[in-house]
């Protein structure tokens, strides 16, 4: 008891002594940024009116989706590849093996997930469909799909594990690949990179969004597994037994 008290006292003393040293810079930076923000604070529409003026040409009715997949499609293409790179990085850091859930099987979680998972898939489909008109889109649908995968993994429903590894790689790569292929197709058709042919914008955007949502969902779910699913070369982790 006494030891614990001394220890905690030492801890607080050390933390109080150490706090100002590394907190000075962020606090000063935060105050400076707040001052800059407040001194330039006046309502401004930004790029809103310009987007609204061009919205008819974008092929979708939602301004956010129009920016995401038409006006600044280049950014979104790169961000899809960033997600893919993260998956590649995680898969490179550990040998392939079976990803087991972090805890024992939970009856309540398992039954709850079996109720929730189909609903979440429907919600993801709805979000993907509603992205053309209002709130929704590939990234929201992908996030819900990823959440479904995480829940299934936690509840020990082997959805990701039952997918053959090659098929999983195809699924993770599908979204970026479709995106890039359609961007190249625009060049072949005589337009610029990611410059959709007039009248075909909504078709291009819908196809890209469907692929991106699937790949983002699969990527987030496999990222949670922490390693590439597949047959492990050794029964136990090789790096632990040199």
Partner 1 sequence: MDAYLTPPIIYGITGLALFAIGLTGLIGRNHPLHKIMAANIMAGGVFLFLVTVGYGDGEVIDPVPHAMVLTGIVVSVSCTGLGLALSRRIMENATSHKNRDDSGEEAR
Closest to partner 1 by CB, 7 or 111:
7
- Are 194 and 185 spatial neighbours (Cβ–Cβ below 8 Å)? no
- Are 176 and 169 spatial neighbours (Cβ–Cβ below 8 Å)? no
> Rounded to the nearest whole angstrom, what is the least distance from the CB of residue 237 to partner 1 in the complex?
7
Closest to partner 1 by CB, 48 or 118:
48
> Could you give the count of Cα atoms lying within 13 Å of 74 in the half-sphere of its Cβ?
4
Closest to partner 1 by CB, 201 or 219:
219
Q: Which residue, chain included where needed, has tokens 């008109």?
A: 133
Closest to partner 1 by CB, 82 or 184:
82
> Rounded to the nearest whole angstrom, what is the least distance from the CB of residue 187 to partner 1 in the complex?
23
CA dist 188 → 159, 183, 184, 200, 202 (Å): 39, 9, 6, 15, 19
d(Cα 52, Cα 109) in Å, to the nearest integer?
Answer: 45
Closest to partner 1 by CB, 126 or 224:
224
> Rounded to the nearest whole angstrom, what is the least distance from the CB of residue 107 to partner 1 in the complex?
28
> Rounded to the nearest whole angstrom, what is the least distance from the CB of residue 136 to partner 1 in the complex?
10
Closest to partner 1 by CB, 49 or 192:
49
- Are 227 and 98 spatial neighbours (Cβ–Cβ below 8 Å)? no
d(Cα 201, Cα 18) in Å, to the nearest integer?
Answer: 57
> Rounded to the nearest whole angstrom, what is the least distance from the CB of residue 168 to partner 1 in the complex?
15
What residue ranges bind partner 1 (CB under 8 A)?
18-19, 22-23, 25-27, 29-30, 33-34, 37-38, 41, 43-49, 51-52, 63-64, 66-68, 72, 75-76, 79, 82-83, 86-87, 89-90, 93-94, 137, 139-140, 142-143, 146, 216, 219-220, 223-224, 226-227, 237, 239-240, 242
- Are 143 and 216 spatial neighbours (Cβ–Cβ below 8 Å)? yes
Q: Which two tokens stand for residue 141?
A: 């649908």
Q: Which two tokens stand for residue 240?
A: 């632990």
Q: Of 62, 187, 79, 185, whose CA–CA distance to 128 is shortest? A: 62
> Rounded to the nearest whole angstrom, what is the least distance from the CB of residue 141 to partner 1 in the complex?
11
């Amino acid at each position: 008891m006494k030891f614990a008290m001394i220890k905690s006292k030492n801890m607080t003393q050390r933390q109080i002594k150490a706090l100002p040293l590394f907190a000075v810079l962020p606090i000063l930076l935060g105050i400076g940024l707040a001052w800059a923000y407040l001194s330039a604070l006046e309502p401004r529409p930004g790029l809103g009116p310009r987007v609204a003026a061009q919205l008819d040409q974008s092929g979708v009715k939602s301004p956010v989706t129009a920016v995401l997949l038409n006006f600044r499609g280049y950014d979104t293409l790169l961000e899809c590849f960033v997600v893919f790179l993260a998956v590649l990085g995680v898969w490179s850091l550990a040998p392939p093996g079976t990803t087991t859930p972090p805890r024992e099987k939970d009856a309540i979680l398992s039954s709850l997930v079996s109720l929730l998972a189909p609903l979440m898939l429907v919600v993801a489909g709805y979000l993907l469909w509603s992205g053309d008109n209002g709130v929704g889109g590939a990234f929201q649908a992908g996030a819900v799909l990823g959440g479904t995968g995480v829940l299934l993994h936690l509840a020990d429903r082997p959805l990701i594990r039952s997918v053959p590894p090659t098929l999983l790689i195809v699924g993770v790569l599908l979204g970026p690949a479709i995106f890039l292929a359609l961007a190249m197709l625009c060049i072949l058709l005589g337009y610029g990179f990611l410059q959709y042919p007039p009248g075909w914008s909504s078709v291009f955007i819908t196809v890209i969004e469907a692929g991106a949502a699937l790949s983002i969902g699969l990527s987030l779910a496999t990222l949670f597994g922490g390693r590439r699913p597949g047959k492990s070369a050794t029964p136990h982790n090789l790096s632990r037994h040199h």
